[in-house]
Amino acid sequence: MSSSLRRPLALIFDMDGVLVDSEPVHKRAKELAFEQFGIVLPESVYDSHKGRPDTTVLGEILQECGMGHQAEEALRMKHQIFESLEHEIQPVAGAVDFVRWAMSRFRIALATSATPRNRAEALKLLEVEDSFEAVVDAASSQRPKPDPEIFLIAMSKLGLGAADCWVIEDSVNGLLAAKAAGCVAVGITTTFDAATLSAAGADFVVDSYGKLRDILETTLN
């Protein structure tokens, strides 16, 4: 971690993989949706698409299989299956306690590519619906990560510049977007390993919220 980092005024959280451990459920929903079109994919394909929007992933794969015209139906089906399985989603370890600790010390925002419906359900699951000063989701951000748009919107809502904001991300595209927005990018190893997150541009990587809290409490001025 760079010694030049200073204490932020705001923390901007991604949601999937950062606050909720939803990747296994999203993956299963995509598998079941693809099966309806006779498509079975190896694990490596799903791994290569982690952190990318459903619209992009389903569209690209169906296009490669000569069924691009079915992308909209596949997306509808995937969302329906996901909603039937979302009761299996669990919070990321330590995330709720960290959010509650952080909200009394920093301004906090949520920047997620999830649909408004899925975002609302996840925050309800965590019981942190009213914790975030600013919320950006798929309804207000049109360009997916690694485009920085989602974080630029979050900063605009907070009325802060990039120098005052840390972004907490679990994915390669999320970290690329955070750096493109000019923010300090914190990688958390819930989805990718530390080496992958560092290579994506993370300013530093933590393996738990306890470690991030220690850094914010004891390391920075």
Q: Are 15 and 95 in contact (CB under 8 A)?
A: no
Instruction: Tell me the percentage of the chain whose pLDDT exceeds 70.
Output: 97
- Top-level class of domain 10-21+89-219: alpha beta
DSSP H helices, 7-94, are 23-35, 43-48, 54-64, 71-85
Q: So what's the pLDDT on residue 1?
A: 64
Which of 18, 4, 37, 220 lies closest to 128, judged by CA? Answer: 18
Which DSSP state fits 191? S
**One-letter amino acid of 162:** A
Q: pLDDT (tens digit, 9 = 90+) per residue, 17-26?
A: 999 999 999 9
Could you give the percent of the chain with pLDDT greater than 90? 90
Q: What is the pLDDT of residues 181-204, one digit of tens each?
A: 999 999 999 999 999 999 999 999
Query: What per-residue confidence (pLDDT) applies to 30?
Result: 96
pLDDT at 221 over 60: no
Domain range list for the chain: 10-21+89-219, 23-87
Q: Across the chain, what does the average pLDDT equal? A: 94
Tens of pLDDT along 126-166? 999 999 999 999 999 989 999 999 999 999 999 999 999 99
**pTM (2 decimals)?**
0.92
Q: Angle at CA 215, nearest 5°, toward 212 and 220? A: 145
DSSP 129-189: TT--SEEE-TTT--S-TTSTHHHHHHHHHHT--GGGEEEEE-SHHHHHHHHHTT-EEEEET
With both helix axes pointing from N to C terminus, report the angle between 23-35 and 54-64 in degrees, rounded to the nearest 10: 30
Average pLDDT over residues 93-97: 98
pLDDT of residue 138: 92
